[in-house]
């Protein structure tokens, strides 16, 4: 079957969430506005996640997986998804499902004239420390990138696949996806989406990851922006 849209789901030690992930994503494929497949990227989980992923994929034709030899981080998992997606559109959602798969339809509705549409978590259900560290990190990132985005950490995005495949991903650059689309002269948009508290498992990022890490990554982005190669072909013969 040919799919129009593939959702990338990075997984790292999420065995407690995967039954719910299967249920909600399977339900979404039935109401999706594009024919949809799911691509799990198991980032070297040390729990029973891989066995559960294999069982899910065996039960559901539209579900597939990539399994890393070892833990390489969220940016690597997203990059692997970009590399393997064949559908013209791809999406990204975290396996903790603090965002709702059905909200992909809100993003897909806008993707036609844009090259990336990202969610903005309305009425966030996180702790005060997590909310404040994310707010500060987003402010720092906007000062460096001028991308105009309020919540690049929102784990709900839709991107045109040809743009995603041209992103030179490095560790930490998953926070800069809108800025990397802008470097390609693409158009980006943010749309409010639902947000929920984590139901199971544990968060993989602390204050360091949300605040200090993004600050240092900003300098890497500035260097990359100066060196980035972009061109448009006028004609060929």
Structural domains present in the chain: 5-227 (3.90.550.10)
Residue 121 binned pLDDT confidence (cut-offs 50, 70, 90): confident
Which of 28-42, 91-105, 124-138, 167-181 has the weakest average pLDDT? 124-138
Q: What are phi and psi of 67, to 5 degrees?
A: -120, 115
Tokens, residue 46:
């040390």
Maximum CA pair distance of the chain? 59
| Residue 110 DSSP label | T
**pTM here?**
0.83
The mean pLDDT of 197-214, rounded to a whole number, is 59
Q: 114, 190 in Cβ contact below 8 A?
A: no
Length of the chain equals 237
Taking Cα atoms as reference points, which of 73, 95, 78, 93 lies closest to residue 18? Answer: 95
| Proportion of the chain in helix, strand, coil states, percent, rounded to 5 | 45, 15, 40
Tell me the percentage of the chain whose pLDDT exceeds 70: 81
Q: 193, 121 in Cβ contact below 8 A?
A: yes
Q: Is the pLDDT of residue 223 over 90?
A: no
Count Cβ neighbours within 10 Å for each residue of 196-211 and write b for 16 or more, e otherwise.
eeeeebeeeeeeebbb
Tokens, residue 12:
């790292």
CA dist 81 → 9, 76, 147, 164, 169 (Å): 8, 9, 24, 10, 12
Which residues, including other chains, have CB under 8 Å from residue 189's CB and lie 6 or more apart?
110, 114, 116, 117, 118
């Amino acid at each position: 079957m040919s799919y129009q849209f593939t959702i990338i789901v990075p997984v790292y030690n999420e065995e407690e969430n995967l039954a719910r992930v299967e249920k909600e994503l399977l339900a979404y494929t039935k109401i999706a506005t594009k024919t949809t497949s799911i691509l799990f990227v198991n980032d070297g989980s040390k729990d029973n996640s891989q066995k559960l992923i294999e069982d899910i994929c065996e039960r559901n034709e539209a579900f597939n997986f990539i399994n890393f030899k070892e833990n390489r981080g969220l940016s690597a998992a997203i990059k692997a998804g970009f590399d393997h997606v064949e559908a013209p559109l791809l999406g990204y959602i975290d396996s903790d499902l603090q965002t709702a798969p059905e909200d992909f339809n809100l993003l897909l509705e806008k993707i036609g004239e844009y090259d990336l549409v990202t969610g903005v978590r309305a009425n966030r259900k996180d702790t005060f420390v997590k909310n404040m560290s994310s707010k500060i990190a987003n402010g720092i990132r906007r000062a460096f990138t001028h991308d105009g985005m309020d919540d690049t950490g929102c784990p709900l995005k839709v991107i045109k696949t040809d743009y995603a495949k041209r992103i030179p991903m490095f560790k930490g650059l998953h926070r800069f996806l809108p800025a990397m689309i802008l470097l390609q002269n693409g158009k980006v948009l943010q749309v409010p989406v639902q947000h929920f508290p984590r139901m199971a498992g544990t968060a993989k990022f602390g204050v360091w990851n949300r605040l200090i890490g993004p600050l240092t990554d900003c300098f890497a982005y500035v260097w990359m922006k100066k060196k980035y190669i972009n061109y448009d072909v006028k004609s060929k013969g």
